[in-house]
């Protein structure tokens, strides 16, 4: 049952990815503006242009170009970046860890903030505390990450300059890292001085990304907690003498968390989509920031590669959440 | 249940504030040449980075100060509002037309139409929206119509998903079956019977979409891909403010406040409309 569900999801996932590949390929190929003309110095001859067009395969028809590209992608060859003149896949893999670390830190923050306020709001239901939490989460949800980023830059970058507002790490530092997962590696190698520097750069973009998601988690989890808190088994726990906080943490949370989990999956993909502009805002050297440069430079192979990697990330997250839901939900597990 | 009914009796003060702000900003944008104290494009290097009126060194007539080229910030914000509101209305309507139509077809007819449209929605949801918008504007060329088209092309799924679900729910109701027995055609039932019942959701989403469109336009002009760089836009002013943040914080603060108020107002309206029309909450 579970395996069948998994295989069907895997198949739809491949169809979706193929769709993304087609759409992005078609969209960028109708673009006016010749990427080859931008690469060459002024005064290049027509023969030079033709030679370069052939080198990048731009002299073939769209359908031919698509299948040449696709057969490369299947083999792990995403082509060569036109503006950076490097292998697209290695460029993407160089930047992806920075974006992943940012997104995961943001997700953890959203769960922590959203979870805490939901539990607090459910415990203090009907009071001014709950009303305050509702107003705060309403505002956090309505204001998008881009604007939160700017607010944070003003507050903690300029007014009280305690965090860095641009880059991933202070440029003067010597980095002894073997991988691009700087944050994880700095912790594993106990270089907490570097961890601190990385966090000082990462905290504000992460909070900007986390706030809208934290608000959603807070609202939904609080709602399900309040529903569960009226059920018999919870009342029984209360009669047994557990405090309200204990009742929530030990009895209610387990059963209230499932609806939130499904939602967090979809919302996490929105969060990752938000990294594109937030990375730009904070000059954070991640995949999104590189994507914007690629668009501005009309670097077709690089844009294609980045969009496809983002899409792969999104469908993988949805698949994971779907499978987790099926595993955790007893009705689906035995159904 | 009582507090849920409250919004229906009177308009809440928050809604008054939201409506007041939007009306003020809209009127200022429409009558921009009359109300703007200065020419928004006039540069004067003698007047560069003037602070807002309550600080030392401010000049009369430049209420919110000037940017690094000596252009009046208030006038630029007022003229930037023109672009913001045009995009908000045009893009939201375009997005709504595409998304609602497809959602209605998908939800009402089901079958193959639903399968194909839902598959396309899946593909669209796998794109990072901001990157997709930037890519589209780069492809279409900068300009007002490109921005509007780009927003409609990325965001129609929001309408499609909601309207599809609503239409499916409505199609199972008795009145649809009755109309069918009465001999109405399928398209007739869809347009005359089902559509009026999903209009409330469409109106609520429209208001939310206007706020989203304002943000997307700001993001696009922030990365310098919206309209021509000469015309002032809220996102363009923010981009200048981000660069000169340590010399002239007001160039970032005022457009940011403007954007936040506008987005909050649109979402307040959307929420209020949703509660007002939602039969369950009502």
Residue-wise pLDDT for A23-69, tens only, equals 988 888 776 656 666 666 667 777 877 887 777 777 778 888 888 88
CA–CA dist A279, A287 (Å, integer): 8
Higher pLDDT, A298 or B102: B102
Are the Cβ atoms of A19 and B120 closer than 8 angstroms?
yes
**Site of tokens 């073997």:** A178
Give the CA radius of gyration of chain A. Answer: 24
Does residue A315 contact residue A272 with C-beta atoms inside 8 Å? no
In this prediction, what percent of chain A has a pLDDT beyond 70? 94
Q: What is the DSSP letter of A159?
A: I
Chain B residue numbers touching A165 (CB-CB < 8 A): 245
Residue among A9, A292, A311 with most chain B CBs within 10 A, to mutate: A292
B144's tokens: 């007002």
Give the model's pLDDT for residue A264: 87
Does residue A155 contact residue A202 with C-beta atoms inside 8 Å? no
Give the model's pLDDT for residue B185: 83
Determine the average pLDDT of the residues in A4-27. Answer: 89
pLDDT higher than threshold 70 for residue A332: no
| Residues forming beta bridges with residue B66, ordered by sequence position | B72
| Residues forming beta bridges with residue B72, ordered by sequence position | B66
Give the model's pLDDT for residue A36: 67
> Mean pLDDT over all residues of chain A?
87
Rounded to 5 degrees, what are φ and ψ at B167? -65, -40
Residue among B17, B130, B262 with most chain A CBs within 10 A, to mutate: B130
Integer CA distances (angstroms), B7 to A124, A135, B15, B65, B276, in order: 24, 16, 10, 40, 7
Chain segment A123-149, per-residue pLDDT in tens: 888 899 999 999 999 989 999 999 999
Q: What is the CATH number of domain B12-32+47-277?
A: 1.10.3720.10
pLDDT higher than threshold 60 for residue A334: no
Number of A–B residue contacts, CB under 8 Å: 123
Distance from CA of A189 to the nearest CA of B (A): 34
CA–CA dist A93, B73 (Å, integer): 42
Are the Cβ atoms of A28 and B139 closer than 8 angstroms?
yes
Chain B residue numbers touching A157 (CB-CB < 8 A): 245
From the first residue on, what is the mean pLDDT of each consecutive set of 10 residues in chain B (282 residues)?
A: 46 85 95 89 82 82 84 92 95 96 93 94 92 88 90 95 91 84 84 86 92 94 78 90 88 94 91 71 49
**What angle, 0 to 180 degrees and rounded to 10, lies between the N-to-C axes of helices B195-222 and A145-152?**
40
Across A11-25, A45-59, A164-178, A249-263, least confident range: A45-59
DSSP, residue by residue, A90-101: HHHHHHHHHHHH
Q: How many CB atoms lie within 10 A of CB B55?
A: 10
CA–CA dist A141, B276 (Å, integer): 20
Q: Could you tell me the pLDDT band of residue A174, with boundaries at 50, 70 and 90?
A: confident
CA–CA dist A296, B138 (Å, integer): 7
Give the model's pLDDT for residue B6: 45
Please give the angle made by the CA atoms of A123, A128 and A133, to the nearest 5 degrees: 70
CA–CA dist B190, B172 (Å, integer): 12
Give the model's pLDDT for residue B7: 45
Are the Cβ atoms of A142 and B267 closer than 8 angstroms?
yes
Give the model's pLDDT for residue B282: 47
Chain B residue numbers touching A158 (CB-CB < 8 A): 245-246, 249
CA-nearest residue to A287 within chain B is B131
Of A151, A277, A311, the CB nearest to B127: A311
pLDDT higher than threshold 50 for residue A77: yes
Give the model's pLDDT for residue B2: 43
DSSP, residue by residue, B206-232: HHHHHHHHHHHHHHHHHTT-SS-TTS-
Determine the average pLDDT of the residues in A100-112. Answer: 96
Does residue B237 contact residue A295 with C-beta atoms inside 8 Å? no
H-helix segments, chain A: 2-29, 35-39, 46-55, 62-74, 88-123, 128-142, 145-152, 182-188, 192-228, 232-239, 244-246, 253-281, 287-296, 300-328, 330-334
**Site of tokens 């340590």:** B246
Give the model's pLDDT for residue A39: 64
Give the model's pLDDT for residue B120: 94
ipTM (interface predicted TM): 0.89
CA–CA dist A326, B208 (Å, integer): 33
Give the model's pLDDT for residue B227: 72
DSSP, residue by residue, A27-78: HHHT--S-HHHHHSPTT--HHHHHHHHHHTTTTS-HHHHHHHHHHHHHTT--
CA-nearest residue to A296 within chain B is B138
B209's tokens: 């979409």
Three-class SS of residue B37?
coil
């Amino acid at each position: 049952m579970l395996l069948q569900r998994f295989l069907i999801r895997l198949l739809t996932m491949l169809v979706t990815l193929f769709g993304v590949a087609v759409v992005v390929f078609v969209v960028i190929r109708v673009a006016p503006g010749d990427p080859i003309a931008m690469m060459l110095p002024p005064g290049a001859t027509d023969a030079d242009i033709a030679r370069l067009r052939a080198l990048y395969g731009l002299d073939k028809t769209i359908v031919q170009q698509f299948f040449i590209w696709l057969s490369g992608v299947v083999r792990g060859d995403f082509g060569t970046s036109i503006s950076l003149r490097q292998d697209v896949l290695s460029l993407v893999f160089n930047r992806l860890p920075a974006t992943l670390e940012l997104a995961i830190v943001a997700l953890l923050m959203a769960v922590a903030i959203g979870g805490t306020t939901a539990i607090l709001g459910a415990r203090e239901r009907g009071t001014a505390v709950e009303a305050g939490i509702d107003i705060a989460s309403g505002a956090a949800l309505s204001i998008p990450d881009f604007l939160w980023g700017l607010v944070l830059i003003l507050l903690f970058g300029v007014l009280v300059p305690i965090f860095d507002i641009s880059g991933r790490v202070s440029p003067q530092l010597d980095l002894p890292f073997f991988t691009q997962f700087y944050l994880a590696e700095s912790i594993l190698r106990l270089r907490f001085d570097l961890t601190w520097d990385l966090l000082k750069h990462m905290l504000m973009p992460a909070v900007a990304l986390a706030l809208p998601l934290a608000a959603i988690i807070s609202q939904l989890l609080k709602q399900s907690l309040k529903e569960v808190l009226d059920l018999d088994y919870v009342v029984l726990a209360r009669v047994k003498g557990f405090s309200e906080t204990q009742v929530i943490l030990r009895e209610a949370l387990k059963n209230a968390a499932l609806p939130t989990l499904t939602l967090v999956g979809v919302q996490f993909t929105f969060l990752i989509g938000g990294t594109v502009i937030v990375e730009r805002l904070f000059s954070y050297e991640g995949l999104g920031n590189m994507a914007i440069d690629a668009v501005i430079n009309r670097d077709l192979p690089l844009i294609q590669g980045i969009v496809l990697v983002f899409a792969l990330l999104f469908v993988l997250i949805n698949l994971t959440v779907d499978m987790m839901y099926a595993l955790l939900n007893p009705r689906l597990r035995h159904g | 249940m009582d507090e849920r009914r409250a919004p229906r009796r009177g308009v809440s003060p928050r809604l008054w504030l939201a409506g007041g702000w939007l009306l003020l900003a809209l009127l200022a944008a429409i009558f921009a040449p009359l109300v703007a104290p200065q020419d928004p494009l006039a540069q004067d290097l003698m007047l560069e980075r003037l602070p807002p009126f309550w600080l030392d060194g401010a000049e009369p007539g430049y209420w919110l100060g000037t940017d690094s080229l000596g252009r009046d910030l208030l006038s630029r914000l007022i003229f930037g509002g023109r672009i913001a509101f045009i995009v908000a209305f045009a893009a939201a309507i375009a997005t709504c037309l595409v998304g609602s139509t497809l959602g209605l077809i998908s939800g009402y007819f089901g079958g193959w139409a639903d399968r194909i449209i839902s598959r396309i929605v899946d593909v669209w949801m796998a794109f990072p929206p901001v990157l997709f918008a930037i890519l589209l504007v780069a492809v279409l060329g900068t300009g007002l119509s490109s921005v509007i088209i780009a927003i409609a092309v990325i965001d129609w799924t929001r309408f499609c998903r909601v309207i599809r679900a609503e239409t499916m729910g409505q199609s199972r109701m008795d009145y649809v079956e009755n109309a069918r027995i009465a001999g109405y055609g399928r398209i007739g039932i869809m347009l005359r019977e089902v559509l009026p019942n999903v209009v409330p959701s469409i109106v609520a989403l429209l208001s939310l979409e206007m706020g989203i469109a304002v943000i997307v336009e700001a993001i696009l002009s922030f990365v310098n891909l919206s309209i021509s760089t000469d015309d002032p836009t809220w996102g363009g002013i923010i981009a200048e403010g981000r660069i000169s943040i340590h010399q002239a914080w007001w160039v970032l603060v005022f457009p940011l406040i403007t954007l936040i108020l506008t987005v909050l107002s649109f979402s307040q309206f959307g929420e209020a409309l949703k509660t007002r029309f939602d039969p369950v909450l009502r």
